[in-house]
Structure 1
Amino acid sequence: MIFYLLFWYGETRQIIADAENLPQVIFKNNLEDRTFRAIVENTDYLYRARLLQYQKANIYSIKPGKYLYFEGEIEIVAKK
């Protein structure tokens, strides 16, 4: 079996998963921090799912302390 478009990684403020017979899922990054990268991953044939996530890119070193790491929202939109 050939897996096409198995994985996408990039800079965006929101990720949308949409399918014909399922509700639309919107995952938003509410921070202005441009070091986050979105990941969309299609799972294998067994699970038949899509994974949506944000990952902090290691491009800066951070001193010890307390920081707001992530703030976002998940919106589920029913089909009409």
Structure 2
Amino acid sequence: MKYEVHVSRGTAGIEREGNTLKVHTRKETVANRANVDVILQLAKYFSVDPASIRLISGARSRRKVIEIPDEHTR
């Protein structure tokens, strides 16, 4: 299943509104740290292996599209 993800700085956490997820991270965008943190948070939220989460678009943007295999979505 594909999700639109909006990333913002702040205390770590995830808010869900339909297929849109708002993910807050304290990590900097330097050296891909923010993207890694977002993927780790999503993996914990969906109880999946981080390797199963695919970043489809938005690697350098606050708006991202990620894909999680359907059998792992709740």
Task: Report which of the two has the higher share of helix.
Answer: 2
TM-score by length of 2: 0.26
Larger radius of gyration: 1
